[in-house]
Amino acid sequence: MYNEILDAVMKKLGDLFPETKVSADPLGEGEIGPYFEVRITQAEEKPVNGNRYLRNISISIMYYPKESRDAIRERNNVLDALMDNLEYITTTDGSLIRGSMRTAKNEERYLNFLTEYQIHVLKSAKAEESMEDIELN
């Protein structure tokens, strides 16, 4: 499920910014902007009820603008688009997932946009061994 969420975020970014490179792998120092790096920074799972669990997946989207005098303005325009368009993502199976806690921070060379996606998962119950099947020697 984690890769599906990462892929959905990357697809959304590709749709919003078709001219900009999007990668889940660090592109490194030599890469010339603009480009996005997307990664899962934290995942958490809490039991809800029985075999239902709530997963909270934190995503970091780093936007590296092209080197220019207007880099800060460019980052602000990208921030507007991310805030407006990453509230919902759609996975390949058509599931709509809502993001929460969207925040951003302008770092020295890039914009760091953070969001969290919460999903409920249902785990199959483990088959417990019946006492009737145990043999005593």
- pTM value is 0.83
Residue 9: both structure tokens together: 């975020």
| Among 31, 23, 34, 44, residue whose Cα is nearest residue 71 | 34
What are residue 10's phi and psi, to 5 degrees? -65, -40
Per-residue pLDDT of the chain (137 residues; tens, 9 = 90+): 899 999 999 999 999 999 999 999 887 666 777 999 999 999 999 999 989 999 999 999 999 998 888 888 999 999 999 999 999 999 999 999 998 889 999 988 899 999 999 999 998 876 565 666 666 76
